[in-house]
Chain A
């Protein structure tokens, strides 16, 4: 935007990167599906299927699990390629606390940065200061306190973490129920109790008070980590997620285009079992999946971040 608009109609200089603009962007994604893609071709398939945005990354979480090693921000060429392949918003992941990767992603013009536990953390104490960026951030959370700490750092969108790359929805359910349950509990507290609640949640009192008053996070809440079927997506919506991220679940399945379209439809008609049944027919193989209780501690991504 030009900082000196010529028109007589506008009455103030435009302000970019405001909380309202950052959080408002996530509001526009509600009711939608954000899909992990690793190539421009996959990004096209996602857009064709009705994704509201794509997450550009080098390897989907299932492959990060398989390959091991340090997982980092994607190659800028690969992100550029995906940005030019589609017209929908493009997100990309930085490592937790790796604010230089985030600076690079902002300079590439991505629409949202996911400071993600799926990549190997760069800082085991601090997350990035997200207020200092124009590009908005989405962060994962396993409980309300974690969500509020991320919002206090400037996150403009929260996703429940789940356990990425497993194709198993059990952790996504656990984390979303945890967040919703803790919000419901705050609703029942009186003003005297909110100070101690803030201390227990290890979250700023002002945010705790706001949630007790409104009954919802001040930013959009999506669900992530383990969604593999249309019914999984609808389940997360019925549990209160405002939309879903699908990672390995689409492009690690037998027929990605068909499954992607089916998950989009089930996310919109999440409360209509007839639609969900209809779109679930003949989808081919779902991703194989991993039982989360067999995962060693070191391979549980949800525990990264604090």
Chain B
């Protein structure tokens, strides 16, 4: 039986050791381990972040896939939401996948009434827009700025982007819906590159973190 995470797609070359940023993965809930592995494969060994003092030690942060309502609630309860917002405002690079995309959206639709987001991208994201689990799917996605053919896109009860502001750049669409966006130092995808062996989106994010450190 083949493992669902095995894939033949090209992966990024490891970075030189003297230029390795410390990247965190928000570990309140979700597929944290897959992001840690994908970042390591993209040349940036990462650590999990659950506390404000752990957040203070990282130069960039991945917000993983998971249940966005759970993540949001735990971020509020454990005092992470405001520190996260401050770091994002101050320019820390962030990459959100699926639930993470919801977390970096300035506005959301079909969320809970009390659902807080970190924000960072001027966009409106609709939660579970592609449907329930029976509608979850995979498809190849061409992502602007990523060479070497389409990225393996795994969409699980995935959100899509309804609209973006002038400062945000659409990087990919599927079936007419925006599924990848970047605004300055914040990147978001509806899909889960961490569930595949294709680490090019993570490599792009690692490069964003490196650039932010060079100033």
Contact = CB atoms under 8 A, between A and B. Distances in A.
B55 interface: no
Interface in A1-28: 1-2, 5-7, 9-21, 23-25, 27-28
Contact of A25 (B27, B29, B128, B157): B157
Interface in A191-210: 204, 206-207, 210
Interface string B91-132: 000000011000000000011100000000000000110111
A245 to B, nearest CB: 15
Interface string B130-159: 111111111111100000011001111100
A7 B175 contact: yes
A115 to B, nearest CB: 16
Contacts of B133: 25, 89, 110-112, 135-136
B185 to A, nearest CB: 24
B69 A88 contact: yes
B140 A28 contact: no
Contact of B27 (A31, A47, A106, A111): A31
B159 to A, nearest CB: 12
Interface in A89-116: 89, 106, 109-112
Nearest to B28: A268
Contacts of B132: 89, 109, 111
A167 interface: no
Contact of A28 (B5, B33, B65): B65
A261 B137 CA distance: 32
Interface residues of B, number: 59
Contact of A30 (B30, B128, B154): B30
Contacts, number: 177
A32 interface: yes
Nearest to B192: A24
Contacts of B135: 1, 16
B113 to A, nearest CB: 11
B50 A134 contact: no
A273 B69 CA distance: 25
Given A7-B173, A269-B50, A28 B1 contact: no
A28 B134 CA distance: 15
Given A12-B139, A21-B137, A28 B32 contact: no
A5 B173 CA distance: 11
A1 B131 contact: yes
B150 to A, nearest CB: 5
Contacts of B110: 87
18 contacts: A1-B131, A10-B140, A10-B150, A11-B139, A14-B137, A15-B139, A16-B136, A20-B154, A21-B136, A28-B99, A28-B157, A30-B33, A30-B66, A50-B74, A87-B110, A218-B1, A218-B3, A265-B74
Given A29-B66, A89-B157, A151-B1, 16 more contacts: A9-B173, A10-B142, A20-B154, A24-B154, A27-B31, A30-B29, A30-B33, A31-B30, A31-B32, A47-B112, A88-B70, A106-B134, A111-B132, A204-B1, A210-B1, A269-B50
Interface of B: 1-5, 27-34, 50, 65-67, 69-70, 73-74, 77-78, 98-99, 110-112, 127-128, 130-142, 149-150, 153-157, 172-177, 192, 195-196
Interface of A: 1-2, 5-7, 9-21, 23-25, 27-32, 47, 50-53, 87-89, 106, 109-112, 134-136, 151-152, 204, 206-207, 210, 214, 218, 264-265, 268-269
